Structure 1
Amino acid sequence: MSAAPGPPGAEGLLGALSPEDRERLMVLASAVTLPGGTRVFEEGGEADRFWIVRSGAVALDVHVPGRGRTVVETIGAGGLLGWSWLCPPHHWHLGAEARGTTAAWEFDAAAVRELCAERPVLGLAVLTSVAGTIGERLRAARIRLLDLYGPPWEGPVP
């Protein structure tokens, strides 16, 4: 079976892999199209797959009591959608919804974890890339929190 190539100049997870390991991973990929408004996953649900967005965008959201779903980040082309599949207990920490028609590569988490266990170099590259994504999202969340709860003015508090 021939694997579909990653996008030219792939960054993120696909860019972190050697061409051979990228091909091994892409053999496990299925091309999917998510219509706008599709709930991709729900906070607390089983994280049994993940996606690499090819085009379009997916909003990550969190349920805020009394306010409903609040978007915390939007994932665009080349972005990794979902990291909870890698970290036990494999439950989503956020929800996700397609913003307009979105094309993505979908991966079965169990198959990818098995591939990572069989090929430790590939597994380390996947783990390092996913950890980088988690770090970027934590930094972005920190900035959003500072915007929300920091003083709205510059300088010392009067």
Structure 2
Amino acid sequence: MTRPGVFGALTKEHREQLMSLAREVSFATGERIFNEGGKADRFWIIHTGTVALDLHVPGRQAAVIETLGAGRLLGWSWLVPPHHWHLGAEASSPVRAYEFDAAAVREMCAKDPALDHELCSYVLGVVARRLRSARMRLLDLYAPYGAGEVP
């Protein structure tokens, strides 16, 4: 059986290396985890619960782009300078997660190119999926009917 999410993208050795830096945390329903534009100095792998990713829309309520659950990576902006959140996140149910200090993970990756490659490849896939989700959600909310159709 393959592991979901980031754990499935890493070898056993690299999972163990990454988890050596993990710290267990929890968030209550409705708790704000991070805000768009804030300093991205950590990330999480969700163990239980759900987190809503949202995007600030001027003059409107924040648009929920995607909801993440168990095994999913919460936060990718820690990997890409200038290390500021591109989205916001709020617990939509009680959440337990593994938290990682971004600087420590980047340092570990600098010392292990294979880990760096596995992690960066996985995060790039996450960025691509979140970009598609954001595009579709914003089209659903704000575009004229049919504007998101591909010719």
Could you tell me how far apart the structure 2 residues matched to 1:53 and 1:113 are? 20
Structure 1: stretches of 5+ with no match in the other structure: 1-7, 154-158
Could you tell me how far apart the structure 1 residues matched to 2:63 and 2:32 are? 14
User: 2:132 is matched with which residue: 136, 139, 142?
Assistant: 139
**SS state of the match for residue 53, structure 1?**
strand
1:113 CA drift (Å): 0.2
Give the residue type in structure 1 aligned to 2:73.
Answer: L
More strand by share: 1
Could you tell me how far apart the structure 1 residues matched to 2:114 and 2:144 are? 42
What RMSD in Å do the two structures reach over aligned CA positions? Answer: 1.6
User: 1:151 is matched with which residue: 116, 139, 145?
Assistant: 145
**Conserved in 1, the CA contact under 8 Å of 2:63 and 2:138?**
no
**SS state of the match for residue 18, structure 2?**
helix
1:140 CA drift (Å): 1.9
Question: Is residue 94 of structure 1 aligned with residue 76 of structure 2?
Answer: no
Larger-gyration structure (1/2):
1
Q: Give the structure-2-normalised TM-score.
A: 0.90
Q: Give the structure-1-normalised TM-score.
A: 0.86
1:37 CA drift (Å): 1.0
Match of 1:5 in 2: none
Q: Which moved more, 1:142-151 or 1:90-99?
A: 142-151
Structure 2: stretches of 5+ with no match in the other structure: none
Match of 2:16 in 1: 23
1:81 CA drift (Å): 0.4
Could you tell me how far apart the structure 2 residues matched to 1:15 and 1:77 are? 13
